[in-house]
Amino acid sequence: MAHPSVPRTLSSTEIGFVAVERRVRISCDDSALCDFLSRNFEGFDAWDLSEEADLAYVIEGDPASSTFVLSTPRRPALNTSDPGKLLFSLEKSLTADLQRARSDLLFLHAAALERNGLAYLLVGESGSGKSTTAWGLLRHGFAYLSDELSPIDLGSLRVFRYPHAISFKRPPPVGYELPHKGVADFGRTMRLPVTGISAAVSSGPCPLGAVLFVRYSADLTQPALLSVSAGEATARLYLSTLNALSHPSNGLDAVMRIVRAVPCFQLETTADLKATCELIGSLRP
């Protein structure tokens, strides 16, 4: 388990890091923007840029229009003056390219936390509270793997880390406030780099321990962990797969392999984040 390390900017205009065992290079001719982007990826391991990158992205400023142009290997160039939009598009391209580069892995839209060497996946629709629950768990002894992307090796059932900045759609509740400094506020989302989380970042990959389907229940007074049938878990986990078509039987057998191997629960969360985290902490898969 490693702690947050230095930003991955290795020069004022280049960022190099390793994501899911692939070397990523981001070249950016604006040092301020490069510094801003590097904070998003500071949880990843660095590489020294001496070898050829597996995935390369170029961002160039256009002084005439005061915009940036993002060039990616497979998509049309994006032209924007909004750093938040640029980061969103860069990450969208990166995660799509990683799925192509590591088509042997099953990519899930899920947060992942580590405790005692095991990974716990938080699966849920966008806005279901994955990031908030993940943020809470980091205050309860869990280490950070990812807040939304969990690639899984189907042979070993190990979960790779994707420790980019944690993205929040709303501020966490009282007692779990975000730090005063370091949060990038994009209006619709806030991003907290891993140096701001005051918790361990998992060095991963680590074996999958359990899958939790997260749902916020406003009418409950206490959070609850409910058992889920294997069929229901299969259907729900399948909906969170990002690269199902890369796998035989459209990924259905891959998902069933996961469901057969680890316990799956429905996690009903409430406004009481502390109780929710303590409930998850009581799990012994």
Partner 1 sequence: MSIHIDRSLIVREIDAEVVILNTRSNEIHRLNTTASQIWRYLQDGKDPAEIARQMATDFDVRESAALADVNSMVRELKALVAVPT
**Contacting positions for partner 1 (CB under 8 A):** 229-232, 234-235, 238-239, 249-250, 252-253, 256, 259-260
Please state the closest distance from residue 197 (CB atom) to partner 1, in A.
35
Our CB check for partner 1 shows the closer of 239 and 271 to be: 239
Rounded Cα distance between 118 and 130, Å, is 18
**CB of residue 228 to partner 1, shortest distance in Å:** 10
- The smaller minimum CB distance to partner 1, of residues 77 and 230, is found at 230
The span from the CA of 192 to the CA of 166, in Å, is: 5
Query: Least distance from C-beta 258 to partner 1, angstroms?
Result: 11
State the minimum distance, in angstroms, from the CB of residue 240 to partner 1: 11
Nearer to partner 1, 78 or 123 (CB): 123
**Which of 158, 161, 125, 146 lies closest to 197, judged by CA?**
146
Q: Which is nearer to partner 1, 17 or 213 (CB)?
A: 213
Q: Which is nearest to 240 in space by CA: 269, 264, 204? A: 264
- Min separation Cβ 260 and partner 1, Å: 7
Residue number, 184 or 256, with CB nearest to partner 1: 256
Q: 79 or 250: whose CB is closer to partner 1? A: 250
Residue 256 φ then ψ, to 5°:
-65, -35
- φ/ψ (deg, to 5) at 63: -55, -30
Least gap, CB of 220 to partner 1 (angstroms)? 24
Positions of E strands within the chain: 9-11, 14-19, 22-28, 45-46, 55-62, 67-71, 78-80, 105-115, 118-123, 143-146, 149-153, 158-159, 166-168, 184-185, 190-192, 206-216, 224-227, 264-269
Task: From 252, 283, 241, 253, select the one nearest 108 (Cα to Cα).
Answer: 241
